[in-house]
Amino acid sequence: MAGSASDKRTPKSKKRWLEISVLAAIVVVLGLMLATFTSLYDKISQSFWPPQESVYGTWVEQDVAGYAAQEIIIGAEGIFIQGGVVSTEFVFDGKFLSFTTGEGSFKYEMLNEQYTEMKLATDAYYQPTFRLLEKHKNNLR
């Protein structure tokens, strides 16, 4: 009788082991699919969106007196305006540069495909235009 009791448990434990193995295999396959999708998404998005480094450099406000011109510095560390950090994160999708500060959200529209001019996208009357200094664009410091 003791043998028959262990025989009853054996099919259940084999079935349970099979369920666990199938579940583990599914988790592994899903993990591999996710890793592949993430890698593929990164490659595809890079082909459509330019790298954020495209807008790195010093941007100077145009059509104002030199002493009154606002200066925006964009780099890997974030965005600096008039020498102070205003945001450590920004999004650049090839058409718009967006970031959020303590004063609110800002969105700049690129005016050319070389990413050397941008304009503040706002409903306000004054929409300043900024130009990227070429020496910073070419990393000639």
11: tokens are: 């099919």
pLDDT at residue 14, rounded to an integer? 84
At 92, the pLDDT band (50, 70, 90 cuts) reads very high
Asked if 72 and 81 count as a contact pair (C-beta separation under 8 A), the reply is yes
| Confidence (pTM) | 0.64
- List pLDDT tens digits, range 59-83: 999 999 999 999 999 999 999 998 8
Asked if 42 and 62 count as a contact pair (C-beta separation under 8 A), the reply is no
